[in-house]
């Protein structure tokens, strides 16, 4: 008789972290229903493989990003779903449909970012696919085809 997995495999945080990285961050994971993203600026948030994910309708295109502002790592959207521009609620940084910084309040007075540094201030983007009304996200930098 097969004894099954050791008890530690069910409760050990290291085993859980390993599963998150090796399995859930590499597969296409169901994120939500496309009907929740029908209107411009509508969004949904999830945690996938331990990573905060934001899926948002930006200019009619469904995009997936890390739900974390590159400035102070605050979440960009705090609700499970809703409709709101892609703006950080903490300091008001705004982002375009490609996840690049569009506006920084007080940038000229406070930050003085060189052009090259400012261009690197962008959101981590993830692969997203819609199949019918279902939205899937893959966190892997080179995801397998969803098919």
SS3 for 1-54, per residue? CCCCCCCHHHHCHHHHHHHHHHHHCCCCEEEEEHHHHCCCCEEEEEEECCEEEE
Tens place of pLDDT per residue across the chain (147 aa): 667 888 888 888 888 888 877 777 789 999 999 999 999 999 999 999 999 999 999 999 999 999 999 988 999 999 999 999 999 998 899 999 999 998 888 877 877 888 888 888 899 999 999 999 999 999 999 998 998
pLDDT of 1: 60
pLDDT of 13: 85
What are the sequence ranges of the domains in the chain?
A: 8-138
CATH superfamily of 8-138: Rieske [2Fe-2S] iron-sulphur domain (2.102.10.10)
């Amino acid at each position: 008789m097969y004894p099954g997995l050791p008890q530690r495999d069910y409760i050990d945080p290291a085993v859980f972290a390993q599963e998150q990285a090796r399995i859930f961050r590499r597969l296409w994971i169901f994120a939500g229903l496309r009907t929740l993203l029908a209107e411009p600026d509508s969004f949904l948030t999830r945690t996938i493989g331990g990573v905060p994910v934001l899926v948002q309708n930006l200019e009619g295109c469904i995009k997936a990003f890390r739900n974390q502002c590159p400035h102070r790592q605050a979440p960009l959207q705090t609700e499970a779903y809703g409709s709101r521009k892609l703006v950080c609620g903490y300091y008001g940084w705004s982002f375009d449909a490609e996840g690049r910084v569009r506006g920084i309040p007080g940038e000229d007075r406070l930050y003085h970012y060189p052009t090259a540094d400012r261009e690197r201030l962008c959101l981590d983007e993830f692969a997203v696919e819609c199949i019918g009304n279902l939205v899937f996200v893959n966190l892997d930098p080179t995801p397998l085809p969803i098919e």
